[in-house]
Structure 1
């Protein structure tokens, strides 16, 4: 069995083009469910917003970096963990927050703003943490990654669909109200389908190497949720907001990670296996946490609170 850093998962150009389109469609669906008021709303929740942004774009990558030093996985596995930590959240976090009786308005606003920030922050964050990693940095230099190329790619598959969706939602609100839910569900199912397809097409590699990444992914995901909860608790946020921010930080868009891995890293083994396993485990862990919270009343309230965006 080859070392995980030497394998390349198979994903032909046509499939990659379709995956890019699916991810763009997913971002379009997120935008249809976003309003300009979502961006204005964060101004009315400055502390929660600052905590959420700091936890996602500063604390989580730093903690992930420390975790890779502690676990000492293969260089490509470490790069995969760092890349996933730098990804923005997906709109599944909004659904899980609703299930957990958390602040849905905060979750939706954070998802919208975080995806906008990630267009620039994600490649720069990844280049920084990957570039200073003692074992992953040499591998990253052989790939000759250009952060500006990644920014351009992210702009095409996140930025443009997001702006288009926002414009349509503002221009034709009645149409948006009718189609946003089917679009969101269809795009999410399509993304899951492609993650399944990526794994199925490289099933032998996943069987051979999943044991190398499973523990790392489980610990990493638990730390991501714990990061959101701990920082929001230390900031003195109420339980209603803590639930939203915990899920918002814990849920990462592994589908975007897969697109970038196949587009810029040639399907590098450890990175692709980490993103593929994360894509499933993250949702499972999120559902378990949301269901646990759903059975517990929100602290500081006498009744269960649910807010729609």
Structure 2
């Protein structure tokens, strides 16, 4: 007897297989600029000694990396087995789970008064690890779910391009922010909250702009994608604990 996919209760999930978002190079450049500004603001309160503390106690970093590249992909695989979305959607979820943590997590850590240095360290380390772990996880877990799917193609990450991008949107803003924070501590302390607020506004503005460019698609498919996103993000947050 054929088992009905759980998410079929919310509509035909195969509709998502042919959706194309309006996201051009200008949008990517704006996103990178927003991330660079966010990282600059986050780094104003960071000092080199903070990183030394993190690396003298590497356990949280190791746990975070394992949660990112072992626990989350495995749980995502179990999730797609349970809800059984279409193959392209399932592989998309597995690919997301195989990617490193994003830079925006550093802003969230800063706003929530969490350990920003640990967050930044994890972002950097998992990004470097993604050269190997992202292709491996996608091939492994994707192969288990849909071994013969034509969508299951090897992922190739250009290390030079990746390091260039990371240096531009992570390295330079963080180094500059730390330098200004140490060189002009009173100024950086006074500007910390305004820059943090501006970072949040900048990021929200980017989301609004991206949503505006795809609003008709958002309205048409929100009833299908909302539960998927909610479940997957809930799983990601839960795996962190």
TM-score band, normalised by shorter chain: 0.7 to 0.9
Distance 2:198 2:166 in 1: 21
**Would the aligned equivalents of 1:22 and 1:191 in 2 still touch at CA under 8 Å?**
yes
Distance 1:28 1:37 in 2: 18
Corresponding position: 1:120 with 2:134: no
Could you say which residue in structure 1 is the equivalent of 2:9?
none
1:205 corresponds, among 206, 217, 226, to 217
Distance 1:46 1:216 in 2: 33
**Would the aligned equivalents of 1:27 and 1:158 in 2 still touch at CA under 8 Å?**
yes
Corresponding position: 1:91 with 2:103: no
Could you say which residue in structure 2 is the equivalent of 1:181?
193
Give the deviation of 1:69 after TM superposition: 3.8
Distance 2:227 2:217 in 1: 17
Distance 2:232 2:188 in 1: 36
Distance 1:82 1:192 in 2: 26
**Would the aligned equivalents of 2:61 and 2:122 in 1 still touch at CA under 8 Å?**
no
Which of 1 and 2 has greater Rg? 2
Give the deviation of 1:190 after TM superposition: 0.9
Matches for 1:79-228 after TM superposition, within 5 Å: 79-85=91-97, 86-88=100-102, 89-96=105-112, 98=113, 104=114, 107-132=115-140, 133-134=142-143, 135=146, 138-139=150-151, 141=153, 145-148=156-159, 149-228=161-240
Question: Where does the alignment leave 5 or more consecutive residues of structure 2 unmatched?
Answer: 1-11
Task: State the 4+ residue runs in structure 1 displaced beyond 6 angstroms.
Answer: none
Distance 2:219 2:203 in 1: 21
**Would the aligned equivalents of 1:23 and 1:157 in 2 still touch at CA under 8 Å?**
yes
Change in CA separation of 1:22 and 1:38 when aligned onto 2, cut-off 3 Å: same
**Would the aligned equivalents of 2:65 and 2:126 in 1 still touch at CA under 8 Å?**
no
2:39 corresponds, among 8, 27, 52, to 27
Distance 1:109 1:33 in 2: 10
Question: Where does the alignment leave 5 or more consecutive residues of structure 1 unmatched?
Answer: 99-103, 230-309
Change in CA separation of 1:48 and 1:159 when aligned onto 2, cut-off 3 Å: same
TM-score (norm: length of structure 2): 0.75
Change in CA separation of 1:87 and 1:46 when aligned onto 2, cut-off 3 Å: closer
1:151-198 deviation digits (Å, cap 9, x = unpaired): 433332223322322233233333322222222221122111111211
Length, aligned pairs only: 220
1:7-53 deviation digits (Å, cap 9, x = unpaired): 32113433332222111111222222322222122245443443233
